[in-house]
Structure 1
Amino acid sequence: MAPSKTRVYNWYISLVAASCMVLYGYDASTFNAISGSDNWNAYFDDIIHKPNQYGAINTAYTVGAIVAGWFFGGPLADYAGRRAGMIAGALLVILATFMQAFAPRGNIGVFIGGRVIIGLGQGLALTAGPVYINELAPPEIRGVIMTFWQMFYSVGSFIAYWVNYACQIHKKSLGNWDWRMVIVFQLLVPILIVGLVFTIPETPRWYIQHGDQVEKARASLRRVRATEQEVEEELLEIQEAINFERTSVGSGYKALWTDKSVRKRLFIAFALNAGQQITGQGTLNTYSTIIYKKVFKSDQVSLINALNATFAIPFTLNAMWTADRFGRKFLFIVGAAGMAVCMLIVATVGIATPFYDLRGGIFIPTDDKVHGTKQRPVAIAIAFLLFLFSFFYKPSWGATTWIWTSEVFSMNVRAQATGMASQTQNIANSIVQQFFPTFLNNTGFACFYLFMAVNVLLAIFVWFVVPETKGVRLEEMDVLFGGANHVEQGAELVGVGKRESVEVGDGGKGLNGKDGVVESSNVVK
């Protein structure tokens, strides 16, 4: 059966919003890609051999993203709209791209300034994008659509690494354009976002939240729901939930800390998003070039990065059929367990096998863990294990972290909470990125034992602390965390009447204590 026009349009608007993640994937991979360029290194006065400055380039990006995500992304998305947040983020990325690509020779400060601004742009876009998707996507396909959100990160990496590989093949003829080209290509996606955002509707929840613009909210819903009955039922739910939030729980940053159930969700979301980066993925995505240089020759590294980014796309798509079938907790636990095993074997193989110094094409044993390489079979085995790590990471802690974070918060705090939680990724990442180059040089492959231990702890944390959210409607998510049902409470405030409890999923305990039952507003008595 062919999908309806409404469902196709739902996918279109969601993928436009998900394009914000291409920005993130591209830029998070750009520095790792160009750091393998001898021309880039020479242009900035041998920056690769200055560990503190080298780490600061990444830290600058994450600082910008953290500031925007924690303090500006939520208020902007709430005040001006979710689309405005995406546009503002894209425009900042465009500005920062020119700063990075055309920084004066030797002036690493301008390059770092561009990294800060591009981080600000990411912080705004990554706050507005997932909120937009979750406020318009039908609940039955919310997990599938948010899988594309994470997959688009992989698409950004895919483009960055393949552009870099093509440039490295022709680095002699390109000169400094072998790294500039990689940066300039980033203009493609923000320009596309700015052009397409005006073709998608603002969310109905934002219209109701700002001046009770009921007709505009209804018109927005009619573009994404198949029947008039669906439109009116959802519109009523939104009105009731927002009415309760206005009169009883407040909104914005204050409500994040005064509402116990929201506070609980926020702390869990912080842990999950920080965990996403300290699994080892954040480090691999930023420093895979220097890691692979320990086991491969330099001219092979750009190809391996490109292949890794290519495989990441189908790996991420595994979440499409698993997130809504097996649930979020299942993916978190299985993913963490798989990554732990991969990190254990990588560390063991790396330590147990000798390093060699290649002189004139001859392998000479060496104790130099910084500049030495592994023999080809060992190098291939380590690369395979890191690809396998990606296989476990992408559909679980990659995609599912975004699904869980963007769906658990109620309307009154959704933008602020999503922005803060998502930027916890960059807080964790900036800490690890700053010390990892020195850590790797001092300990060699033993450093991967740290990531193994982290993944074991994350699996335990999810098992005991994180509730299942599969199939639960956004307006009823509060019940899972011990909060009031905003829809039912809002209905009572306006005198609509009692709501009937119906099965909406198997994600946790409802008010009546039965698995998978929450107070639903599907039926008005």
Structure 2
Amino acid sequence: MTLLALKEDRPTPSAVYNWRVYMSAAIASFASCTIGYDSAFIGTTLALPSFTEEFDFASYSPSGLALLQANIVSVYQAGAFFGSLFAYGTSYFLGRRKSLFIFSVVFLVGAGVMLAANAERGMAPILAGRVLAGIGIGGCSNMVPIYISELSPPAVRGRLVGIYELGWQIGGLVGFWINYGVNTTLAPSHSQWLIPFAVQLIPAGLLLIGCFWLKESPRWLFANGQKEEAIKVLCWIRNLEPTDTYIVEEIDYIERDLERTGREIGKGFWKPFLALKDPKVQWRFFLGCMLFMFQNGSGINAINYYSPKVFRSIGITGTNTGFLTTGIFGVVKTVLTIIWLLWLVDIAGRRRMLFIGAAGGSFCMWFIGAYIKIAQPETKGNGDLTSGGIAAIFFFYLWTAFYTPSWNGTPWVMNSEMFDLNTRSLGQASAAASNWFWNFIISRFTPQMFLKMGYGVYFFFASLMILSIVFVFFFVPETKSIPLEEMDRLFAIKPVHRAHQVLMEELMARNNDAGVADDSSSSTHEKSRARQVEESV
């Protein structure tokens, strides 16, 4: 199998894998660039000497400073939690594209407010701006995976939603390196720490501009009675004529799924909430929340937001040295995300990568925690790394190699695809809110955890990664290459570890039977559907 080989649920014209669908995913993913940038730049900005001096960090006690830093970081996640829930309402009434536009504007306003902070005004503009920016980014984190998954052909859905994760890592890469740059090239000043805050306006501005080019999700248009416009957008994004067999079949899938959900759930803003009475729907909401709990339980956001503190615990001292080590961490994550995006997510699959990432990552965390327990490098403070310290840094980067192509983006991919059309927006809102809730918990309490637990923090994350293996094996089915309209069937098959294989065999058999029927009946039904589509256009 080649690097870009795809596993298709049905014969797919090559025109479907065109530049428009990739460009749409890339533009929408400017939102994740903004998220990734924030997760990376804020921790290192709090460690900049110019920032700590202007806001008089030296006057705080260790516990008071830990609380202040935690509040600066975590109010953003608190805003994002509510933003991800607000996006359900905007998505329902206004659609995916307009929601992205609205939340990008909200973020830009919040980012602008942060720039008003200085020694005289204090931290208030930063705290208020981060809440507002968090609301904007929370809404985008809900919308982007849904939007991309609804545009995507099944065979490359993981790859396209993975662009969202790639944007996250590119933003993080810039965020990790920018403070190294300003610290080495600029003298400590107000402008030195203000520049990193201002840079976050760039990806948000590009998203705002890109929204004028993006098309609305055809599935949302179908669901809201705009069939003619939906067909036009679908043909544009697939680069096919409306009478093409692939288009006819896709429209049929979407309409049959809408008919089914209309019968079983009904249409309306509150109907998806009523669907929560169904234990099968509840279960998928639970799975989405748990995936993000285990993602955050790996320790990634403790590292993202407090990387200087993490590297100091291993024994790395000095502002520039810490920033450099953090920057290399960003490079490793970005390179591995590209590998995951191009190959692993749609070829190796979701489940397999989650297993490998959790097992390998847990081993690395156990090693790092044991080293800190035995060597106690932070207490020595001489800046010289022993062979054990070098090994700990190696295992830290090895942990990154295990985590990035597995738990980093896979939960976002799976949550974007495992709900039916009527509950997808609400399901993604629940999943995104869960992500930001656990993100908030980690970012809020990591400084206190390091103060109270020390090396035990690494053992804590290692233990959660072991638990995630058990959880995924028994409860999370493989979703790669499965059409969105077949997810209900996938989650109904038991045992879970064989569900993907069983359903793919069913789909192939169904397509083979359909092919035989078409040959014998001259594709009467297909021609009828094609005429209906042509009349609609």
The bucket for the TM-score relative to the shorter chain is 0.7 to 0.9
Task: Indicate if the aligned counterparts of 2:272 and 2:422 stay in contact, CA closer than 8 A.
Answer: no
**1:429 correspondence with 2:439:** yes
TM-score scaled by length of structure 1: 0.87
Q: Structure 1 pair 356/246, CA: closer, same or farther in 2 (3 Å)?
A: closer
TM-score scaled by length of structure 2: 0.85
Please point out which of 70, 86, 93 is paired with 2:107.
Answer: 93
Q: Structure 1 pair 518/423, CA: closer, same or farther in 2 (3 Å)?
A: farther
Structure 2 matches for 1:315-326, cutoff 5 A? 315-319=336-340, 320-326=342-348
User: CA shift at 1:443, angstroms?
Assistant: 2.9
User: Which structure: greater helix fraction?
Assistant: 2
Distance 1:462 1:27 in 2: 29
**1:335 correspondence with 2:357:** yes
Partner of 2:172: 157
Distance 2:291 2:393 in 1: 26
One-letter amino acid of the counterpart of residue 25, structure 2: S
One-letter amino acid of the counterpart of residue 94, structure 2: A
Task: Indicate if the aligned counterparts of 1:100 and 1:115 stay in contact, CA closer than 8 A.
Answer: yes
Task: Indicate if the aligned counterparts of 1:480 and 1:508 stay in contact, CA closer than 8 A.
Answer: no
Partner of 1:296: 316
Partner of 2:123: 108
String of CA shifts for 1:146-198, please: whole Å, max 9, x gaps: 222111111011111222111010242x5122211111011111111111122
Task: Indicate if the aligned counterparts of 2:44 and 2:306 stay in contact, CA closer than 8 A.
Answer: no
**Secondary structure, counterpart of 1:398 in structure 2:** coil
**1:191 correspondence with 2:205:** yes
Distance 1:382 1:235 in 2: 54
One-letter amino acid of the counterpart of residue 352, structure 1: I
Question: Which moved further from structure 2: 373-382 or 252-261?
Answer: 373-382
Partner of 1:509: 499
User: CA shift at 1:433, angstroms?
Assistant: 2.3
Please point out which of 120, 124, 127 is paired with 2:135.
Answer: 120
Number of corresponding residues:
486
String of CA shifts for 1:404-454, please: whole Å, max 9, x gaps: 111101110111211220221221122222222122123322320111101
One-letter amino acid of the counterpart of residue 206, structure 2: L
String of CA shifts for 1:240-260, please: whole Å, max 9, x gaps: 211222232135541451232
Gap regions ≥5 residues in structure 2? 5-12, 515-524, 527-537
Task: Indicate if the aligned counterparts of 2:40 and 2:305 stay in contact, CA closer than 8 A.
Answer: yes
**1:314 correspondence with 2:335:** yes
User: CA shift at 1:226, angstroms?
Assistant: 4.1
Distance 2:388 2:66 in 1: 27
Partner of 1:268: 287
Please point out which of 465, 480, 499 is paired with 1:455.
Answer: 465
Distance 1:99 1:464 in 2: 47
Distance 2:378 2:491 in 1: 55
One-letter amino acid of the counterpart of residue 93, structure 1: F
Distance 1:374 1:417 in 2: 49
User: CA shift at 1:114, angstroms?
Assistant: 1.0
String of CA shifts for 1:319-363, please: whole Å, max 9, x gaps: 231222222110111110011001011011111114366xxxxxx
Distance 1:456 1:328 in 2: 17
Distance 2:175 2:90 in 1: 29
**Secondary structure, counterpart of 2:346 in structure 1:** coil
Distance 1:130 1:17 in 2: 9
Task: Indicate if the aligned counterparts of 1:255 and 1:413 stay in contact, CA closer than 8 A.
Answer: no
Partner of 1:224: 237
Task: Indicate if the aligned counterparts of 1:123 and 1:419 stay in contact, CA closer than 8 A.
Answer: no
Partner of 1:60: 75
Partner of 2:145: 130
**1:242 correspondence with 2:262:** no
**Secondary structure, counterpart of 1:297 in structure 2:** coil
Task: Indicate if the aligned counterparts of 2:108 and 2:201 stay in contact, CA closer than 8 A.
Answer: yes
Question: Which moved further from structure 2: 242-251 or 340-349?
Answer: 242-251
Distance 2:344 2:277 in 1: 35
Partner of 1:394: 404
Distance 2:274 2:106 in 1: 29
Task: Indicate if the aligned counterparts of 1:85 and 1:127 stay in contact, CA closer than 8 A.
Answer: no
Structure 2 matches for 1:14-93, cutoff 5 A? 14-46=25-57, 49=62, 50-70=65-85, 72-93=86-107
Partner of 2:277: 258
User: Which structure: greater strand fraction?
Assistant: 1
Distance 1:224 1:91 in 2: 26
Distance 1:291 1:141 in 2: 36
Partner of 2:163: 148
Q: Structure 1 pair 223/339, CA: closer, same or farther in 2 (3 Å)?
A: same
**Secondary structure, counterpart of 2:478 in structure 1:** coil
String of CA shifts for 1:38-95, please: whole Å, max 9, x gaps: 111222231874222221122211110111112x111211211111121122112211
Task: Indicate if the aligned counterparts of 1:58 and 1:433 stay in contact, CA closer than 8 A.
Answer: yes
Identity %: 23
One-letter amino acid of the counterpart of residue 68, structure 2: Q
Task: Identify which of structures 1 and 2 has the higher relative contact order when contacts are C-alpha pairs closer than 8 Å and 6+ apart.
Answer: 2
One-letter amino acid of the counterpart of residue 259, structure 2: N
Task: Indicate if the aligned counterparts of 1:22 and 1:155 stay in contact, CA closer than 8 A.
Answer: yes
User: CA shift at 1:229, angstroms?
Assistant: 2.1
Task: Indicate if the aligned counterparts of 2:33 and 2:169 stay in contact, CA closer than 8 A.
Answer: yes
Q: Structure 1 pair 507/80, CA: closer, same or farther in 2 (3 Å)?
A: farther
